[in-house]
Structure 1
Amino acid sequence: MEDLEIKGESGVFYIPNVKMEVSTGTCEISGESYLEDTDEFYNTIIKWIEQYRAEVKKAIKFNFRLTYFNTSSSRGILNVLRTLKDYEDSGAEVEINWYYPDDDDSIAEEAEDYMVSTGLKINMYSFEAED
């Protein structure tokens, strides 16, 4: 199994940075998510988690550091979180950290909604937004 790394891009569409490491179980998605093909993008992440679950079977730590995401990305993120919940329900240790700009309550509220809909514990951390 290999690490997954997707370099973010900005333009007409915004692709977030993704870094998922097999050796540490640390995964991170950061930046802005406004994609042309949201399903394909997030399904790539879900498939990696499922392969990690089947082959590595160790703890996973997932950091979300998104400063913006659209509605279709929100659905993709929810599907990632559901996959992580399934992994947790199988007995694995799953840690989820949600970093949000301190001036954007809507991103924090999204995480709270995700907690309710998935039953996952999500650690919330605000950070000072860049100008």
Structure 2
Amino acid sequence: MDTLIIEGSSKTPKVVFDADKGDLLLEGRSIPENSLEFYIPLMEWLDDYSQEVNTDTIVHMKLEYFNTSSSKCILDFFRKLETISKRGNKISVKWYYEEDDEDMLEAGEDYEAIVGLPFVMVEQEEV
């Protein structure tokens, strides 16, 4: 299965989904004009990945900021991962936030409360 790589921009996050390693990375800002259009290829990749998961999966969420429409897509992304997890696959989420960014920490905690996936909150020093 091919690795999905999407270069980040000022409005969209960098995406590196490596099926062989079980590492999924979303990093940067998620404020696209059309969130659905951006996230559909990610969901389609997850559909394919779910058919051949062969390792533990770690999701690295390193978002600086996301808008409301992205938050719905991110929730759908986590729900799809939750479905994969319920089939017996080990999936965990590392939610990164800057040390003074209470809003991003709270967003991670909110997602953790909604979906049945284990989250680890990772505090980072501001760059």
TM-score by length of 1: 0.92
Counterparts of residues 92-131 of structure 1 (less than 5 Å): 92-130=89-127
Q: How many angstroms apart in 2 are the aligned matches of 1:109 and 1:58?
A: 29
Q: In percent, how many aligned pairs have the same letter?
A: 35
TM-score by length of 2: 0.94
CA RMSD of aligned residues (A): 1.1
Instruction: Report the residue type matching 1:116 in the other structure.
Output: A
1:7 is matched with 7
The answer for unaligned runs of 5 or more in structure 2 is none
Partner SS state of residue 129, structure 1: coil
After TM superposition, which residue ranges in structure 1, 4 or more long, deviate above 2 angstroms?
55-59
Q: Determine whether 1:34 maps to 2:31.
A: yes
The answer for unaligned runs of 5 or more in structure 1 is none
Counting matched residue pairs gives 127
Q: Determine whether 1:90 maps to 2:87.
A: yes
Partner SS state of residue 61, structure 1: strand
Deviation string for 1:64-107 (max 9, x for gaps)?
00011111111111111101110111100101100011111011
Query: How far does residue 114 in structure 1 lie from its aligned partner after superposition?
Result: 0.6
